[in-house]
Structure 1
């Protein structure tokens, strides 16, 4: 631009001030800078690839082996009892599976693995302490040196194993994945399978311990319950003895006697009525004709024989009277024989009447005695019923205590047997096998291309930075040159 505010003479030169040009960052400028720095790009790529190859050779590879465990929330229905048989709620399955994930990661399970595989003696899991006193002093000053109580090899191996262990549950499943990293693929698989075995052993030990504690608690309670039952039984027996409440077959003796006497009274009443009926019939036959038929219950062998003789004699007498006449001397003898038979028959009737009377008297006396006993037993039953009220209360207490004792005894035996059963429905669905490829560092197929790209980016950045610096210096040199002057007349 021209500065016309200054007064100019003919010999005074005129200075022209040009605007400062800023470097442009157009694509062609970037490409020009990259082309100029192509050597740096190639060197950066080769450098990063060389670094990646060196790191791949120096870094100790690690291998990961995994196993899978299926946790079914519902236990096996081996026995039906409240000790081991439970039906989980619909929304508790996930919580149970997540709890098992925590159990697998627990110190108890991992300590079993360390003891089984002797990981506390493995240099991979227990790094030896450094012998450099200076380095140890620096670590102690920075608080990086652990206290002596934490230098137990088992604890160190436990911390290392927890860092190498990954346990997770797949979403919407009850399958738990257990993965272990190690320098040796076979060792990783061995540790993963050992974790599964230790988990099952820990679960079985927990179930056994739970059943044992329940059995011991029940056994401790059984002694008190047994003593309560014995005291209740003694109270019942003592109450029966004090109130003379004798029982047989679960019933009081007075109740049994009352029932028996009622039945005997009915039978005795029937016998008395029958004996009275026979006596009345026997009395009616006293004045009857000897040839009159008698009831069967009044018949006897002697009466039958006499009546048979009397009938035969009467028939012979009638025939003889027809043939000889009523006044014949022989008829007197026949009539005399008839009178003798009539006296014998009458005597037999009297004997039968007397026997029937005795039978009736015995039946009536037996009935009276039974009635007397029945009245006495009724009186005793009334007093026994009053005393039986207290007895029933004692028996109810005894039944309640006996029921509780038997329930506890049954449950104690079930809990004792539960120690020998494993009802956990957990199984391994996939065992760990040695990994075919390492987990860390990644494969050269991935590392080398990434290193090449990073090297190209690094070289490109260097090339762009150097190109930008070269352009800046060129502009500064151009700005430092003397400006051209000319006269206003020339302008």
Structure 2
């Protein structure tokens, strides 16, 4: 007892019960369990690492380094406003402009442009663009030759075009009209040359396309000029013939008949106005004559003859008045003045009558002229009504002439403009960032590839090993078993040394030397813990069984018995295993058959074999009736030993084992679980078979140090 209490704590494997294990994380998240799995399944971890490293080496050898060169092209959809009327509208909506740039992006990587680049750089003779011979390709070619399905060799230019198409990429930069073109190649200088060549070929092809489009449009218009000219001439001839046939003489705006009608209408109005004016003057003069007041009419007052006569009359009247006042009325001078006055008055009246006659004649002439013009106007109106329908048709023909003339003139001007535009480059697209040889290769460096392969292989190997462990369902460690069962405090024993197993351990003389190794200390601690758990039990009967580890179970029973015998306790080791491992290791027969002893209710000592170390062993008979299981339990409980260790069979293996496990008088039941060989499914079945009435102590054998 003292030996066990004074040993170092590091040697007491499983020395103290563990508690508070609820909520433990799964075992495959425990770094110690992961390391244990890696040690056990190192080949599973190493194989993916080697495969990934080999794949990385094959990849770096098979795939040559690639270099990407890029250039940027500004595609301005507006173009240059060189002439007023271009072939395409210079101003477009933003969405239409973006669509135009996207369309040019397709043109940039089209087979037309790439094919010209192939011809320019003679890529049909470049091995890089003809495809290198690979192992898989050689195998396919060999199979095709064997099966007689060989294909005709492909066109080198088409092969180079397809390879170049796969190596070219273009994209429009966000929120701009700038297109970025990228080309990959095994040679950095070749990548830059190809990028520049594609950009230059695209710009040259775009300018040529614009010029060709303008030329074809001009040719199409010129081809229509002759037809339009003939159509204009036919329309003019038809209009002129119609005018001559219907005698429609005049300007383009108005016929002669219409002009005459307008003039006659104006003349008639003027004649009627003149007649009215003449009539008014005539009536005024006649009224003056009738009234006797010659100075009230404008025609008379303003007449120069009358004005002169009136002047003379005034002079004569002054002379007459002077003669009358100075000489008298009988004086000859007065009489001569009176005669002259009378003569002047008669002359004025005669002149007024002449003015009245002239006014009457003028009025009659004006009336006659108005009547003549009215008759002529009526005749012209009748003639105009006759030619109205003909003039309507003539105007329609003249409109056709004007339309044909307008179209012909527009086509003629446009044809001349397009002829000049063919020689002008109105494109505003240009290279804004020429391609230069790239400094770095594409993809990660070789060291990064191998490191990634190593990490990936380790990850796959680790996950694979953990998955295999999960599928295997092995115990492996006490931690894993505790996590599976959901309870802690399991006892654990390290792997037993060679001297503690087999027949040599049973014949060992513990009186000469006492073992103090880790295994012996752990067994002693387990034994004393059993004694503390069952106080006052004399003898202490301990049943040892297992789910699937028969050798570990027998080794545990043997170790407990030998440890007690080393402490000079009275110990009986009972072999109740149907396989009889202890009996075979003992190599000695019992003095009396156990079945006969139990049947006769004799002393158990008659069937025991005492070893030199003082350990007494009860061998298993060849045939132990199941009806004697209860008698065996009674005999064990009545024995004179301090400790009775019973090596049972596997749980569910035989009736005697089940009867002894179910006997409630026996308080101690140990279930041995091998960390190396035990399976979780078998342990679950065994614990389910034992039941929940008794709580067996689970002892993990072959446990690693530190558990």
CA displacement 1:233-262 (0-9 Å, x = unmatched): 222222222222233361233233222222
Partner residue, 2:342: 339
Which of 24, 32, 39 aligns to 1:31? It is: 39
Distance 1:277 1:123, change over 3 A: same
In structure 2, the partner of 1:295 is 297
Q: Do 2:288 and 2:297's aligned partners in 1 also have CA atoms closer than 8 Å? A: no
* Aligned position for 1:61: 65
Alignment partner of 2:235 out of 232, 236, 260? 232
Alignment deviations for residues 121-169 of structure 1 (CA, whole Å, 9 cap, x no partner)? 656546899xxxxx9x97986636616xx24xx5454344224323456
Matches within 5 A, 1:83-482: 84-85=88-89, 99-117=103-121, 119=123, 124-125=128-129, 143=150, 146=153, 150-151=155-156, 154-155=157-158, 157-167=160-170, 176-248=179-251, 250-285=253-288, 292-293=294-295, 295-298=297-300, 299-402=302-405, 404-405=407-408, 419=422, 430-439=433-442, 442-450=444-452
Separation in structure 2 between the aligned mates of residue 29 and residue 280 of structure 1, nearest angstrom:
148
**In structure 2, distance between residues paired with 1:156 and 1:279:** 115
Q: CA RMSD in A?
A: 4.9
Deviation at 1:385, TM superposition (A): 1.4
Query: In 2, distance between residues paired with 1:142 and 1:422?
Result: 53
| Pair 1:127–1:338, CA change in 2 (3 A) | same
- For 1:487 and 1:128, how far apart are their aligned partners in 2? 82
Tell me by how many angstroms 1:349 deviates.
3.3
Partner deviation per Cα, 1:58-104 (whole Å, 9 max, x = no partner): 975331112345667x6569589795239989987887565444322
Does the 8 Å CA contact 1:77/1:85 hold for their aligned counterparts? Answer: no
Looking at CA atoms only, which structure, 1 or 2, has the larger radius of gyration?
2
Distance in 2 (alpha carbons) for counterparts of 1:457 and 1:306:
149
Match runs of 1:31-50 below 5 Å: 31=39, 34=42
TM-score, length basis structure 1: 0.68
Structure 2 residues without counterparts, runs of 5 or longer? 1-33, 134-138, 463-583, 594-620, 623-707
CA contact (8 A) 2:218 2:419 kept: yes
- Cα separation, partners in 2 of 1:69 and 1:324, compared to 1, 3 Å: same
- Cα 1:435–1:486 change in 2 (3 A) is farther
SS at 2:71's partner residue? strand
Question: What is the count of residue pairs matched by the alignment?
Answer: 428
For residue 330 of structure 2, give the secondary structure of its aligned residue in structure 1: coil
What does the per-residue CA deviation read over 1:10-62, in whole Å, with 9 as the maximum and x for residues that have no partner? xxxxxxxxxxxxxxxx975862674xx8xx979x97x9989978986897533
Tell me: CA distance 1:320–1:198, structure 2 relative to 1, closer, same or farther (3 Å): same
Report the CA distance between 1:209 and its aligned residue: 3.0
Contact 2:169 2:183 in 1 (8 A): yes
Structure 1: runs of 5+ lacking an equivalent = 1-25, 130-134, 461-482
Which secondary structure does the structure 2 equivalent of 1:179 belong to?
strand
Structure 2-normalised TM-score? 0.49
Shift of 1:308: 0.6
Question: Which structure carries more relative contact order (alpha carbon 8 Å, separation 6+)?
Answer: 1
Between 196-205 and 354-363, report the one with greater CA deviation. 354-363
8 Å CA contact 2:196–2:435 kept in 1: the answer is yes
User: Which is further off, 323-332 or 96-105?
Assistant: 96-105
CA contact (8 A) 1:108 1:202 kept: no
Cα deviation, residue 302, structure 1: 2.7
Aligned residues of 2:323 and 2:331 also touching (Cα < 8 A): no
- 3-state SS of paired residue (2:65): coil
* Aligned CA distance change for structure 1 residues 85 and 421 (closer, same or farther; 3 Å): farther
Is the Cα–Cα contact under 8 Å of residues 75 and 101 in structure 2 kept in the other structure? yes
Aligned-partner SS, 1:248: coil
| Aligned equivalent of 2:552 | none
Mean CA deviation greater in 371-380 or 337-346 = 337-346
CA-to-partner distance for each residue in 1:277-326, whole Å, 9 max, x for gaps?
A: 3333444555776x942533333323211111112102211331233332
CA contact (8 A) 1:65 1:189 kept: yes
